[in-house]
Structure 1
């Protein structure tokens, strides 16, 4: 029992580092390389949102490392930073959704661009809800850390989607990379099964609901209900 308990936090620490690597690779061609070359230009809100997201990933690494070192008090004290980051990420994410959608529609964007605005709002709500649930279950460490893992998996979807620039030959990249993003849940489930001989209910029920939401987004992005809702939220005239 002691050996298993000592090994248990390492999985979340390793996943935290993996999340950071995925984000660095995903945003390399659209952010980091252009930024290094001095060719990246974007409104301040995009810089702020990017900094907040990477701040979240670094925060996840720090918190997982503190648990690994059994610095539980410091871990709890830093929790308020995570709550503040979550609120700022959701707020800036909604503002970016507005900016990008209006920009792309003005440039002649199609129904996919319009419908994606609803998806962005759903993703921000999903991330905020998962972090909120993790805070509510902070005294249940097994549920708490899995909810934060799911929140981070969900937040990494934009990084996965940008990998289409590195792998332009991938067919239907929106669907393919969205499915790859959620496949990290299978890694977490496999780890539970191998280490604990069972799968935690958070992965089954909350993780399953997360995947169902993402599948719904994929299927509904250009549907009429999605498009009508986007037009309403954007103040666009109905068609």
Structure 2
């Protein structure tokens, strides 16, 4: 994240609000992945790509919170320098998010509450929306009202996996992906409520961000359920165990151990 908002441009109350949102979002992600580890559904014995993916995204979470803090407490010079690192790191997340989706689909191990073909399409689309929102926020860094709100929206675009690890996903079928993503909208909605109470109206950045995030739902289904989706799935899984997994069917739930 390039930054949230320079302290001079916002009141202390606004600073506290956006910093609190950033911290809460980070806590959701950490809690979700920690819960999976404690429940025995994940371990440090995972293959290297999983570790690389986890390190890349957790590094972003740490940078996200650090930048929210530096934006309000300084030093602003460090905040700006780290911001350019964040601009490059977005590309890393875009690549890693796509690679892990491809790898899981090829292995035929997509979560059973997702259709593999939809999983393959929807996850990279979420990463693309995240990158678009985050890079737009960086481009608008001098317009701090847009800047900080778009960064919150960008983080919302990729918080679904964190929420998904806390929600009873099997019980949310066949809309598990959609509901996990929608759950994250609690943060921009909180921003809308805050703006209306403080300024009398909601900032348009929230609506642009929410629209971008929600666009993943219809677009991913449109592609996944088309001939294009079939071709992508066939090309990605060719020569891998995933080729034997029906792309547009839910896999049977795993039996309890």
TM-score range, shorter chain: 0.7 to 0.9
State whether residues 182 and 211 of structure 1, in contact with CA within 8 Å, keep that contact through their aligned partners in structure 2. Answer: no
Name 1:195's counterpart in structure 2. Answer: 198
In the alignment, is the contact (CA less than 8 A) between 2:118 and 2:224 conserved in 1? yes
Q: How many residues align structurally?
A: 231
Cα displacement (A) at 1:32: 5.8
Match of 2:230 among 228, 231, 238: 228
Relative contact order higher in (CA < 8 Å, ≥ 6 apart): 2
Are 1:13 and 2:19 counterparts? yes
Deviation at 1:206, TM superposition (A): 3.1
Q: Contact 1:12–1:64 at 8 Å: present in 2 too?
A: yes
- Alignment partners' CA distance in 1, 2:204 and 2:90: 24
The 1-side partners of 2:236 and 2:170 are apart by 31
Q: Does the CA-based 8 Å contact 1:16-1:64 persist in structure 2?
A: yes
Structure 1 residue 205: Cα displacement: 2.3
> What stretches of structure 1 move > 6 A for 4+ residues in a row?
none
Match of 2:207 among 193, 204, 207: 204
Question: Structure 2 residue aligned with 1:58, among 59, 62, 71?
Answer: 62
TM-score normalized by structure 1? 0.83
Cα separation, partners in 2 of 1:33 and 1:64, compared to 1, 3 Å: same
Unaligned runs of 5+ in 2: 1-7, 248-257
Q: Give the alignment's TM-score, normalised by structure 2.
A: 0.77
Instruction: Name the CA shift for 1:221/1:182 in 2 (closer, same or farther; >3 Å).
Output: farther
Q: How does 1:1-239 map to 2 (within 5 A)?
A: 5-31=11-37, 34=40, 39-104=43-108, 112-164=115-167, 169=171, 172-217=175-220, 219-220=221-222, 223-225=225-227, 227-231=229-233, 234=236, 236=238
| Structure 1: segments with no counterpart, 5+ residues | none
Offset at 1:34?
Answer: 4.2
More helix by percentage: 1
1:212-233 deviation line (CA, Å, top 9, x unaligned): 333543x547523463253265
